[in-house]
Every structure is written in structure tokens, then in C-alpha cells.
Amino acid sequence: MRTGYIFTAVATTNMAVDSQRIALEDELGDVLEKAMNCAGLTPEALAERSGVAVSRILDAIDYRPELGAAECSRLAAALGLNEVGLCALASGKYPLPGADGLPFQLWPLRMAHGIGVVNAYVVQGGPAGPGLLFDTGPGAGALEGVWPRQVPVIDAIFVTHIEAEHAGGLPWAAERFRVGGARIPAGACVAHGLPMGEGETVALGDLAVTAFRTPGHCAMHNCYHVRSTQVASARSLLVSGDLVFAGSAGGPYHCKRQLREHLRRVLAAVPEDTVVAPGHGPMTTAGNELRFNPFVS
């Protein structure tokens, strides 16, 4: 992650618009660093294994990616990465699919945090109706500053993982919207938290939210699958936190193996056209990441 942009909330069911405005969270060098970490390789060891000069690898990590297709292919093979996706990243052509037709309003809330940007999301079943909040950004001021005035009421709050940049605004949101307790990953600890474990579903109005337990980035991490209960065939939403990003994955701080296992598992468990809304970077789809995400191989 190198750069960040701040936007105020604009409701969208059109991901093409979202994707055109938001930079990928991770560039080629970030992905190589995470993959080297997962594989336990130094740049020198990767050079030895791949046959790519260590100076070329260090240049890529230092945001000077001029790797050719053959070099990318050798690095992908050495690191166990998706070759097509890694080469697309290297050439600046990672695909971000447009997608319309979610059966509810989706409000991406993008907030500055440090040198980057963190995402939260509001889902609203109907105009001026109650919303569901997914993650809360780093604090009250950040969340209040991007809050969509079209969403005056929140029925429930869901938190993917208890880190400051994703849960710092929770006290403000719970107080302002008088929400008794936030849904959190089972095993996580937060005041008035309501644990949700694997497969547990909460039905609210015309929406159902099902939790996937997805440790890897951290030990207590959930993704949330949001579906309409009125139109079973309608497109759904996966709030993926720091498990999967468009073109990358969260840092494997808890368990490298579990991160990659759950990344693939969750993407394969939802319909291909499911909109994926990550904790950082632009939205994507489950099918796109199954085909191209470097960490799905």
C-alpha cells in the first residue's frame, strides 16, 4: 500500500464507478513482500529459486516494477502465486469488474488512516430505511465525516475484526444509533459485543447476514455475507475485512496458511457474481478474485 485517497460517501450499486476511482490497496511490490513472508523467503532466496535477479526483485518491492512477463511467471511459480493475476498486477492491468444490480443500497465509507485509507460500509434495504453498518473506521470524527445523511437509522453493527482502524468508531456509532451491541467474531473481546461464529445468521428486515470465521490476518476475524431474503436469486455482498482485497490479501499476521485457506474457501462459498467489499481498496467480485487474485493459485 503506497497511496491513499479520501472520498465522501456516494451510494452505489455500480462497481464500475467505484473501481475507477479507487486505487488497488497493494501494488506488485506489496504482493511480492507478502508472498515472500508467507513462503519464508528472503529476496536472495527468491532470486535463487526463481532465477530472477535479486536486484530486479528489490526494484519491484521498492515500487519500481519493470518486470517482464517471463520474470513474473518465474516469480509466481517460485512463490506459489496465481501467474495470470501477478502478471496483470505487474503490467498495471489487474481487472476490476463492473457490477450493477445489488438488491439494496451500498454506501462505501472511505476514511483516511495513517498513510492509507480504510473502508466501512452501510447497507440500506430501502430509501430512508434502517441500515446495517459493517466496520466503523478508525474513530468518531472519521466516521461522522463521511456518514451518508440519507441513512438516519442503523439497526445493527457488524465488525470484521477488532483493530483500531476498523473498530475505532464503534463507540460513536453504537451511541449515536442506540445499537445495544455490535456483532463481532466469536472469541473477540469488546464491550457489549455479540459474538457470531461460523455459519451463524442474523436476519434483519429484508436482509440476512451470515458469518464466515476467517482467521489468518488476525486470530478473530469474520467475513459477512449479506443477502436479500426477498429475492433469492439477487446478487449478494461479501464484506471481507482484511482477508481478501482486490488483487491481494491482508497481512498474514496470525497464520499464513489459514489466511490463504480461508481466502479461497470463502470466495468459493459464495456465488461468483457476489460483490466483495474489502477493508481496504476497491470492490471486486468473488469470481474475479478466484480467477486472478495472486494468492489464489
Q: What's the min distance (Å) between Cβ of 242 and Fe ion?
A: 4
Q: Which three cell numbers stand for residue 12?
A: 452505489
Q: What's the min distance (Å) between Cβ of 248 and Fe ion?
A: 12
CA distance 246 to 184: 23
Q: What's the min distance (Å) between Cβ of 217 and Fe ion?
A: 8
Q: What's the min distance (Å) between Cβ of 251 and Fe ion?
A: 8
Closer residue to Fe ion in complex, CB, 6/203? 6
Q: What's the min distance (Å) between Cβ of 26 and Fe ion?
A: 12
Closer residue to Fe ion in complex, CB, 159/207? 159
CA distance 33 to 39: 10
Closer residue to Fe ion in complex, CB, 27/242? 242
Closer residue to Fe ion in complex, CB, 118/151? 118
Q: What's the min distance (Å) between Cβ of 134 and Fe ion?
A: 13
3-state secondary structure labels for all residues of the chain: CCCCCCCCCCCECCHHHHHHHCCCCCCHHHHHHHHHHHHCCCHHHHHHHHCCCHHHHHHHHCCCCCCCHHHHHHHHHHHCCCHHHHHHHHCCCCCCCCCCCCCCEEEEEEEEECCEEEEEEEEECCCCCCEEEECCECCHHHHHHHCCCCCCCEEEEECCCCCHHHHCCHHHHHHHCCCCCCEEECCCCCCCCEEECCCCEEEECCEEEEEEECCCCCCCCEEEEEEECCCCCCCCEEEEECCEECCEECCCCCCHHHHHHHHHHHHHHCCCCCEEEECCCCCEEHHHHHHHCCCCC
Closer residue to Fe ion in complex, CB, 193/279? 279
Closer residue to Fe ion in complex, CB, 125/279? 279
Closest residue to Fe ion, Cβ-based?
242
Task: Specify the long-range contacts of residues 67-72, CB closer than 8 Å, at least 24 apart.
Answer: 67/28
Binding site for Fe ion (CB under 5 A): 242, 279
Closer residue to Fe ion in complex, CB, 56/280? 280
Q: What's the min distance (Å) between Cβ of 198 and Fe ion?
A: 21
Closer residue to Fe ion in complex, CB, 71/242? 242
Q: What's the min distance (Å) between Cβ of 135 and Fe ion?
A: 9
Sign, CA torsion 270/1/7/193 = positive
